[in-house]
């Protein structure tokens, strides 16, 4: 798919708009690079900032037609929907509390939505958005980007094929250290909104990174959370949202086995830059994947030596090679994984144009978004009740 | 200390006996190698097996005087105490339920006890033994051997010195895979007694390896458990004791900070041979240590590059170099760490001979044993109550 | 630079053409992704294949205007130079023997050339091309892409700053395993031309990957080769070019020190996918960088602990952060490094438009190309003479 | 073997003496620990220092009978040979120039010799010693201790079994950093004699560590050096012996393949503590072993995923498990590997007592010593002749 020339259903670039992501925003640039990498999109319109001048300046800087540089997403949805050459898809890269509005507006205009996570700032909103998305004449893609890593696809395929046997254990963790000190009080915009319940919702670390870890664990294992017990903390004095989460997980029965798990998300853990890691053990084998070395998947069939599986290397399955671009030993990284979400979305959108479904295409959807918000709210409820077991309200 | 020629208080080898550890036992051989390495001991007597012929054969094989190869520990305690050249110390390496009896017998004869862990098979027994040890004219050393690794000593010294600031997070894990299948039903003696509550007590994985992980976490961090919530499992059908434990930890306040932690112990985790790992994060930095690469301690001062500290390498503190034998880059392993416990014990015993206390000497004691059993019983109680928070009854 | 919004001298995308890189070619796609990532280029013309139908089909597939899909590079140079909206730069991604012709043609039309390496298939040609490039009203950029990795930039800056002291040792290696068996005889097009002296020139492994290793070693260390002794082999029977090279290096004196080095390039080394590695030691410290984990640079100041420097992490210097896109812990890979060459080229070209030189911009040039060919020919000469010392004829 | 109770031919401890290794010497203590670990020896006599008082004090400190603490090796050989309970074996741990004399003296008395490497300080002496050893009624064991590591045994067994196919490439390296500065001029006794040609012979780094790397490469691969080209340096001003060696190797034909190799030995390489590493590639697979992580052997069957083989883990062969003491995941280190040499020697000596040969026992001999010295002298000759190819004069 991602490699040029392999794409049989390729038929013209998708016109893409963006909400948020003006100058200085980190994630907007990531989305644009991800959209560009495989050349499925043309970026043509934006409501890049809530400040009109900043929106205009950002649009200019990015080479947008000033006419298609809008002051608000509402205006953008209205006008783009009316143009013959209007956008077919929009990327929403605002803080969490600003996802619902634009997502609703564009979906209702039949414009596909590629939205950052967590999908909304509350579970109620997420469910409402799900109802809207279910009725919309457009796709909804959630950028749980880590699911785009080829070796995560490999891991998922191996679990599905039974290489691990029945799953017993799911250990997920996502430690970072960038909020060890109160960065939100020393000028970091990233830190400001992520520690502000008005903009982020009820979850701090659990929302920002805990949802990624959970999503990835479920994506690979195919498991579903039955209940969880969470112990959240705000170690930095005065911080309003959690900056560390310890969570025990119980999963729904599958083949007679009820898997268990742990999830650790932290933003106050010196020594970790972006330490997302997934370990899954079953009756027949175990796997380990570390985000900072994403081209490797460790696989141990029980009773045999540990194997180092590499992206596009020996033993790579079609599920991983189809989202790889370059040979084994030539590392692909975060942007390539992110680009895979965009390219999967593109294949789905192009098929959608023709009333079809793209084969093999996999991407996170609004359902994953609801699961994420249910997770956040269950964690908060559990933690408020001294880590009592809570069933996510999906 | 451990290196010959450095030992100023060296004064003659200690006469050592052993209870358990006959032919075919794994841990008995380990104790003997550990005792031999630094040449502080002479192994002269044993009650090596509860089967008399096996005891005799094992004694012969190990070069013991047949006269000092006893059929029971009671006999050995009696007769050795009566000899002028009787043993000064005894190593107890039987299964858990057979620790209390010999420990009591030898302590009451004024013979130093070096005992395997967990110290007993119940908390009540552990406390009773503590009372005995407190009154005894002899030392009690518990072989939580992982505390003997030099880089664990380094970590402990760094925490104590404040290099990590105030401790916020303690993540301990100890996954293994050897009980993934029901080895106890296919002839493994090691598996048999470790999954048998009559011989192991109330804890399976938590007793065998969970106590090691906890002990190490506390040893390094200096923290004390306030309460814990545990979710124990026996994944293998028919297994009577836990083979996987997920535990959340809350620690007592220190400098205004209440640290939290997680502990994972598993014997059903394919991909892990002996994956003991400790990560500790504070306000100023974080450390990570992995038992399978014990000569390395990763240290990240917050905001600075991660450092790879090595045994006897640059930055090594006296607390670690004094228990190192050979230069950096020449790996020391499990036996050397175990031998450090024996050598610390030897220094303490030799000082004890002279009515002194050996400076700098550190080893786990009966108190650590009580903490271990309180941990096991708290885990079982918590798990029985749906992972309710339980305070260990120390 | 590479991150949008940071580029002060940004002023409109560069119109880019390509010679070679039609359907199925690996490296053409890599160049296009690299050109797209930071959005400095628009791909508008191509002479993508020497087979006219294939050229047309490839152009169509890539969305080129059929009018600008040429049957030959000569035609393309002619016609594009004549257009007002003609290409400003061309990427040459053909096999080695097809670099010189197009490079000459475009340079002489004042069109900037971005050319794959080795720059030509003989030293004589390389020197001739250098003479042409020196006179041309256009830039020549050689895609020694590994110089684009941020941590390679960091390493170079650290050497330049004196963090390693005077350089004594330069150990470079580049083992691969893909030619362990005669892949050139079982249908691999990549293997075919790379083992064919008509298309590759005098060097097999030394040309394809040895030049990369050398280039990187020189780029980082600032050293110049004085002489070399090479022992080349073709382990696979019937192979016409070397598939393994063992080389000893002597460097020119610098600050009174004559550094020495070794270089190992192999394509018959099972266990290695793309194992490019550089280790440089000086009087004050040493560094190590491994291409398969490119976000890490190991740095050991003599007498201090080894440090793990990470891309955009603590200790990152401006020379590396300016070519980084995303935060530490979010791995960038091969394509991002390759894109950095394209983006450096873009900055240089944009400055060139204004008669300026872009500050801080670094990229390999025709001089590096000459050095590479001189290296290849010196290796062959040395090896032919039983590994006698040979001075590269630069 | 090494594990107690497994040793069927065990029959009483061997009486051991030592020449050299008095207080403060590093390697003497290592030999004693190695001898003690598996309990095959009793240390009963010594000529521990050439300074009589120091010899006496050292003997006392080590618990030797003063009567058997000798002032010279000649005296010791004489008197011990005359005693009924005299030593059966002697460890020679003096600097290189002091190996020949005692080795000759003890061998001629029928006392087994366990000698440090390089075996002598010149090839002529080594050959003379070989003649003596060949005639002696005693064994000669050379402590190339790295051959004792279990995973090195595993590697050797795999090569012998054909798992790698025909060997093409042997890459050995042994970088250290401890002589980066002139430590021999600031009081380091270790540095003093190792950089002194009078005591070390013609080789500096090549003698001290290069011989280890070569020996290991040959031990594992079964290859024999045909010729070598060496470029030696003394980077530190005023140093009389080489502190860095770059060597290209050509091996004798085997199964129609002439393997090639490189060897790098350095003591001026900051970043390396004791970086001995061996990589061997054949037509069917490749292996990699790193001394600082000795419990792991990386094995890549060509075209399959890389495997992490562990000591006593899945896939371990009898050749490695027989020299392992403890389960997989419990690291054994340098001393255990060294102890394996002592234990192999013990098995051989015990069998010798009975006029037998111990099955499976493997240890380096005087022949390896001759090969080592031939290597050193060939390196010096080659380097003196501008790295001309030289055939070792074995």
Whether the per-residue pLDDT at A88 is higher than 50: the answer is yes
A331 contacts C293? CB cut-off 8 A = yes
Q: Is the peptide bond before A227 cis (omega within 30 degrees of 0)?
A: no
Nearest CA in chain B to A263: B262
Residue A331 C-alpha, separation from nearest chain C C-alpha, in angstroms: 5
- Sign of the C-alpha dihedral computed for residues C323, C326, C330 and C332 taken in this order: negative
SS3 A262: strand
Residue B23 C-alpha, separation from nearest chain D C-alpha, in angstroms: 6
Overall residue count recorded for chain D in this entry: 394
Whether the per-residue pLDDT at B4 is higher than 80: the answer is no
Overall residue count recorded for chain A in this entry: 394
A264 contacts B281? CB cut-off 8 A = no
Chains that touch C (3 or more CB pairs under 8 A): A, B, D
Whether B346 contacts B363, CB under 8 Å: no
Whether C281 contacts C172, CB under 8 Å: no
Q: Describe the strand order of the beta sheet including C140-142 as a list of residue ranges.
A: C41-47, C14-19, C89-92, C112-115, C140-142
Tokens at C341, concatenated: 């060459």
Average pLDDT, chain A: 95
pLDDT at A189: 87
Looking at residue A254, the DSSP 8-state letter turns out to be: B
Of the candidates C168, C244, C285, which has its C-beta nearest D169's C-beta? C244
Residue B286 C-alpha, separation from nearest chain C C-alpha, in angstroms: 14
Residue B313 C-alpha, separation from nearest chain C C-alpha, in angstroms: 7
Within 10 Å of residue A276's Cβ, how many Cβ atoms?
Answer: 24
Reported as a single tens digit per residue, the pLDDT across B151-175 is 999 999 999 999 999 999 999 999 9
Of the candidates C299, C309, C314, which has its C-beta nearest B303's C-beta? C314
Q: Which residue has the tokens 């390539």?
A: A336
Average pLDDT, chain B: 95
Rounded mean pLDDT for each run of 10 residues along chain D, 394 residues in total: 38 90 86 96 94 90 93 97 97 96 98 97 97 98 98 98 98 98 92 92 96 98 98 97 98 97 98 98 98 98 98 98 97 98 97 93 98 98 98 96
Residues of A in contact with B282 (CB under 8 A): 270
Partners of C300 in the β-ladder:
C286
Residues of D in contact with A308 (CB under 8 A): 305-308
Q: Please tell me if residue D339 touches chain B, with a CB cutoff of 8 Å.
A: no
Task: For residue B52, name the pLDDT band (cuts at 50, 70, 90).
Answer: confident
Whether A362 contacts A160, CB under 8 Å: no
**DSSP alpha helices (H): ranges in chain B?**
26-37, 52-61, 73-82, 100-108, 123-135, 150-161, 189-194, 197-200, 205, 211-221, 318-321, 334-353, 366-384
The C-alpha atoms of residue A200 and residue A122 are separated, in whole angstroms, by: 9
pLDDT at D11: 53
Average pLDDT over residues B21-35: 90
Within 10 Å of residue A388's Cβ, how many Cβ atoms?
Answer: 18
Cα-based torsion angle of the residue sequence D92, D95, D96, D97 in order, rounded to the nearest 10 degrees: -100
Compute the count of residue pairs across chains A and D with CB atoms less than 8 Å apart. 32
The residues near B82 (Cβ < 8 Å, ≥ 6 apart) are: none
Residue D301 exposed, middle or buried by CB count within 10 Å (0-12, 13-18, 19+): middle
Residue C153 C-alpha, separation from nearest chain D C-alpha, in angstroms: 19
Q: Please tell me if residue C3 touches chain A, with a CB cutoff of 8 Å.
A: yes
Nearest CA in chain D to A313: D305
The C-alpha atoms of residue D281 and residue D165 are separated, in whole angstroms, by: 9
Q: Please tell me if residue C272 touches chain A, with a CB cutoff of 8 Å.
A: yes
Task: For residue A11, name the pLDDT band (cuts at 50, 70, 90).
Answer: low
**CA angle, corner C259, sides to C255 and C264, nearest 5?**
155
Q: Please tell me if residue D38 touches chain B, with a CB cutoff of 8 Å.
A: yes
Residue A322's Cα: distance from chain center in Å?
19
Partners of B16 in the β-ladder:
B43, B89
- Sign of the C-alpha dihedral computed for residues A379, A381, A385 and A388 taken in this order: negative
Number of Cα atoms under 13 Å in the Cβ half of residue D4: 28
Residues of A in contact with D306 (CB under 8 A): 307-308, 310
Better-predicted residue by pLDDT, B329 or A4: B329
Reported as a single tens digit per residue, the pLDDT across A255-271 is 999 999 999 999 999 99
Q: Which of B1, B7, B13, B33 to mutate to test the interface with D (most CBs of D within 10 A)?
A: B33
Q: Please tell me if residue A272 touches chain C, with a CB cutoff of 8 Å.
A: yes
Of the candidates D266, D272, D387, which has its C-beta nearest C248's C-beta? D387
Within 10 Å of residue C394's Cβ, how many Cβ atoms?
Answer: 15
Residues of D in contact with C257 (CB under 8 A): 235
Whether the per-residue pLDDT at B7 is higher than 70: the answer is no
Nearest CA in chain A to C13: A63
Q: Please tell me if residue B13 touches chain D, with a CB cutoff of 8 Å.
A: yes
Whether A306 contacts D307, CB under 8 Å: yes
Within 10 Å of residue A66's Cβ, how many Cβ atoms?
Answer: 8
The C-alpha atoms of residue B289 and residue B147 are separated, in whole angstroms, by: 12
ipTM greater than 0.90: yes
D246 contacts C271? CB cut-off 8 A = no
Tokens at D290, concatenated: 């790193």
Q: Contacts for C129-135 with beta carbons within 8 Å, 24 or more apart?
A: C129/C100, C129/C103, C129/C104, C129/C366, C129/C369, C130/C366, C130/C367, C130/C369, C130/C370, C132/C103, C132/C104, C132/C107, C132/C108, C133/C103, C133/C107, C133/C365, C133/C366, C134/C366
Residue B159's Cα: distance from chain center in Å?
20
Share of chain A above pLDDT 90, in %: 91
The residues near D6 (Cβ < 8 Å, ≥ 6 apart) are: none
A332 contacts C273? CB cut-off 8 A = no
The C-alpha atoms of residue D209 and residue D173 are separated, in whole angstroms, by: 9
The residues near B191 (Cβ < 8 Å, ≥ 6 apart) are: B178, B179, B182, B183, B184
Q: Please tell me if residue C327 touches chain A, with a CB cutoff of 8 Å.
A: yes
Whether C181 contacts C110, CB under 8 Å: no
Residue C386's Cα: distance from chain center in Å?
29
Reported as a single tens digit per residue, the pLDDT across B120-130 is 999 999 999 99
- Sign of the C-alpha dihedral computed for residues A220, A221, A224 and A225 taken in this order: negative
C260 contacts D233? CB cut-off 8 A = yes
> How distant, in Å, are the alpha carbons of B21, B185, B192, D312 from that of B188?
16, 7, 6, 16
**In three state form, how does the secondary structure of chain D look?**
CCCCCCCCCCCCCEEEEEECCCCCCHHHHHHHHHHHHCCCEEEEEEECCCCHHHHHHHHHHCCCCHHHECCCHHHHHHHHHHCCCCCCEEEECCCHHHCHHHHHHHHHCCCEEEECCCCCCCHHHHHHHHHHHHHCCCCEEECCHHHHCHHHHHHHHHHHHCCCCCEEEEEEEEECCCCCCCHHHCCCHHHHHHCCHHHHCCCCHHHHHHHHHHHHHHHHHCCCEEEEEEEEECCCCCCCCCCEEEEEEEECCECCECCEEEEEEECCCCCCCCCCEEEEEECCEEEEEECCCCCEEEEEECCCCEEEEECCCCCCCHHHHCCCCCCCCCCCCHHHHHHHHHHHHHHHHHHHHCCCCCCCCCCCCHHHHHHHHHHHHHHHHHHHCCCCCECCCC
- pTM of the full structure: 0.97
Residues of B in contact with C304 (CB under 8 A): 314-315
pLDDT at D8: 39
Q: Which residue has the tokens 């990233």?
A: A190
Residues of A in contact with B180 (CB under 8 A): 283, 302
Reported as a single tens digit per residue, the pLDDT across A92-129 is 999 999 999 999 999 999 999 999 999 999 999 999 99
Tokens at B319, concatenated: 């607390």
Ordered by where they begin, the domains of chain B are 14-145 (3.40.50.720), 150-328+369-384 (3.30.360.10)
pLDDT at C1: 31
Residues of D in contact with C171 (CB under 8 A): 264
Q: Please tell me if residue C297 touches chain B, with a CB cutoff of 8 Å.
A: no
Burial A33-65 (b: 16+ CB within 10 A, else e): bbbbbbbbbebbbbbbbeeeeebbbbbeebebe
The residues near B94 (Cβ < 8 Å, ≥ 6 apart) are: B19, B20, B102, B116
Of A287, A253, A329, A349, the closest CA to residue A153 belongs to A287
Q: Please tell me if residue A229 touches chain B, with a CB cutoff of 8 Å.
A: yes
Q: Please tell me if residue D236 touches chain C, with a CB cutoff of 8 Å.
A: no
SS3 A181: coil
Average pLDDT over residues B206-224: 98
Give chain C's residues under pLDDT 50.
1-10
SS3 B90: strand
C271 contacts D281? CB cut-off 8 A = yes
pLDDT at B1: 32
Task: For residue B10, name the pLDDT band (cuts at 50, 70, 90).
Answer: very low
Looking at residue C237, the DSSP 8-state letter turns out to be: T
Reported as a single tens digit per residue, the pLDDT across A127-173 is 999 999 999 999 999 999 999 999 999 999 999 999 999 999 999 99
Tokens at B243, concatenated: 């083979």
Chains that touch B (3 or more CB pairs under 8 A): A, C, D
> How distant, in Å, are the alpha carbons of B214, C144, D215, D301, D351 from that of C32?
54, 16, 49, 34, 70
B307 contacts C305? CB cut-off 8 A = yes
pLDDT at A297: 98
Q: Please tell me if residue C293 touches chain B, with a CB cutoff of 8 Å.
A: no
Whether C156 contacts C146, CB under 8 Å: no
pLDDT at D23: 78
The full DSSP string for A183-221 is GGGTT-HHHHHHT-HHHH-S-SHIIIIIHHHHHHHHHHH
pLDDT at B212: 98
Q: Please tell me if residue B313 touches chain C, with a CB cutoff of 8 Å.
A: yes
Q: Please tell me if residue A57 touches chain B, with a CB cutoff of 8 Å.
A: no
């Amino acid at each position: 798919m991602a490699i040029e020339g392999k794409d049989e259903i390729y038929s013209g670039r998708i016109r893409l708009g963006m909400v948020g992501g003006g100058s200085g925003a980190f994630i907007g640039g990531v989305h644009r690079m991800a959209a560009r990498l495989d050349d499925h999109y043309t970026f043509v319109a934006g409501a890049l900032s809530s400040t009109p001048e900043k929106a205009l300046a950002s649009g200019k800087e990015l080479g947008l037609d000033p006419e298609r540089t809008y002051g608000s997403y509402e205006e953008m949805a209205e006008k783009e929907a009316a143009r013959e050459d209007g956008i077919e898809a929009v990327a929403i890269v605002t803080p969490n509390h600003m996802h619902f509005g634009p997502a609703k507006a564009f979906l209702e205009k039949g414009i596909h939505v590629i939205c950052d996570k967590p999908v909304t700032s509350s579970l109620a909103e997420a469910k409402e958005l799900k109802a809207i998305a279910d009725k919309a004449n457009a796709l909804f893609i959630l950028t749980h980007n880590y699911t785009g890593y080829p070796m995560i696809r490999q891991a998922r395929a191996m679990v599905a094929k039974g290489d691990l046997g029945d799953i017993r254990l799911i250990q997920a963790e996502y430690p970072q250290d960038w909020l060890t000190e109160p960065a939100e009080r020393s000028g970091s915009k990233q830190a400001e909104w992520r520690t502000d319940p008005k903009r982020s919702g009820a979850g701090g670390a659990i929302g920002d990174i805990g949802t990624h870890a959970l999503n990835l664990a479920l994506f690979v294992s195919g498991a579903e959370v039955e209940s969880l017990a969470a112990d959240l903390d705000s170690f930095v004095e005065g911080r309003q949202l959690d900056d560390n989460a310890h969570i025990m997980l119980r999963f729904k029965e599958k083949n007679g086995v009820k898997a268990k798990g742990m999830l650790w998300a932290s933003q106050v853990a010196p020594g970790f830059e972006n330490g997302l890691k997934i370990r899954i053990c079953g009756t027949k084998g175990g796997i380990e994947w570390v985000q900072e070395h994403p081209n490797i998947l460790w696989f141990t069939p029980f009773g045999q030596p540990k194997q180092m599986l590499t992206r596009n290397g020996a033993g790579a399955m079609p599920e991983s090679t189809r989202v790889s671009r370059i040979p084994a030993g030539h590392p692909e990284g975060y942007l390539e994984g992110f680009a895979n979400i965009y390219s999967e979305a593109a294949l789905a959108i192009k098929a959608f144009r023709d009333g079809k479904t793209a084969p093999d295409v996999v991407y996170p959807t609004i359902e994953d978004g609801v699961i994420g918000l249910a997770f956040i709210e269950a964690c908060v409820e559990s933690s408020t009740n001294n880590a009592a077991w809570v069933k996510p309200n999906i």
